[in-house]
A and B are shown apart, each in its own frame.
Chain A
Amino acid sequence: MKYIDDPHKLQIEIIKKTYLISLLPVISSLIAGEYDITLGFVFGLLIATLLLRLKYNNIIRALSLEEESAEKFIRNRYFLEYALYFLVMFTAARHANLNFLAAAVGLFMIKFTVIMWSIIDLLKDTFQRQIDEYK
């Protein structure tokens, strides 16, 4: 991840990896016949993907502004995103066909992927350094 300097490419990589990891819970909940979990998870995941795109667009727009206005712009947009998160969770909590916890986990999947990816990179670097030292 740290070797990707192009933000657009990074975004696509994050989305690809997230969907790949998400296949496991989706398929296992489908096999178990828990369709509300599948629906909730997919709902949360789709909204998280769209919010990542929105965040990227906001960042690009903020970089063309002055420092203070960029600060205000990103802060205001964060609260709008927060309202969207609330709407998603509220819908999942009120709707019987959507599992609330699965929707929350779906929203968190992108963050889990980024953290996991960073940990894997860190471990790879550590092992590589140890191998180089051994050589």
Chain B
Amino acid sequence: MIDFSPEVATTVINTASYIAAGSAMIAGMGPGIGMGFAAGKATSAVRRQPEARGPIITTMLLGQVISASTGIYSLVIAIFLIYGI
């Protein structure tokens, strides 16, 4: 077993935390792509059926509110890893 000095161990832990925080931030991209896709489809749906505008906006708003939460989870984890709160 190799014994590391405390400074080396701290550096390794900090580096690993930063890499993990960066990896966690990748999860923030998914909802953006999904939301954009949903918005595009909603636009074409409103063009096809203008009378269904209200329910489409309602569904889209709720969907976007919920789907954004995965991105925020990743942000919380990343900040936890960086600041060690």
Q: Which residues of A contact B (CB under 8 A)?
A: 1, 4-7, 10-11, 14, 52, 55-56, 59-60, 62-63, 65-68, 70-75, 78-79, 81-82, 85-86, 89-90, 93, 100-101, 104, 107-108, 110-111, 114-115
Q: Which of A60, A86, A114 contacts B75 (CB 8 A)?
A: A86
Cβ–Cβ < 8 Å partners of A114 in chain B: 62, 65-66
Contacts A/B (CB < 8 Å), 14 sampled: A4-B58, A5-B55, A6-B54, A7-B61, A10-B61, A52-B65, A59-B39, A63-B53, A65-B43, A67-B40, A81-B68, A107-B72, A111-B65, A111-B68
Shortest CB-to-CB span from A133 to chain B, Å, is: 28
List CB contacts (< 8 Å) of B1-44 with chain A. 28, 31-33, 35-44
Q: Which residues of B contact A (CB under 8 A)?
A: 28, 31-33, 35-44, 46, 53-55, 57-58, 60-62, 64-66, 68-69, 71-72, 75-76, 79, 83, 85
Considering the chains assembled together, what is the distance between the CA atoms of A5 and B68 in angstroms? Answer: 22
Cβ–Cβ < 8 Å partners of A89 in chain B: 75-76, 79
Cβ–Cβ < 8 Å partners of A68 in chain B: 40
Given contacts A6-B54, A55-B64, A111-B69, contact A63 B33 (CB under 8 A): no
Instruction: Please determine whether A78 and B35 come into contact, CB atoms closer than 8 angstroms.
Output: yes
Shortest CB-to-CB span from A78 to chain B, Å, is: 4
Considering the chains assembled together, what is the distance between the CA atoms of A56 and B36 in angstroms? Answer: 14
Instruction: Sort A-B residue pairs by CB-CB distance and give the 9 closest, nearest first.
Output: A75-B36, A71-B40, A74-B39, A78-B32, A7-B57, A5-B54, A71-B36, A70-B43, A67-B40
Task: Give me 19 other A-B pairs in contact (C-beta within 8 A), A59-B39, A75-B32 excluded.
Answer: A7-B61, A14-B65, A55-B61, A55-B64, A59-B42, A62-B39, A62-B42, A62-B43, A66-B43, A70-B40, A70-B42, A71-B36, A71-B40, A73-B39, A74-B40, A104-B72, A104-B76, A107-B72, A111-B69
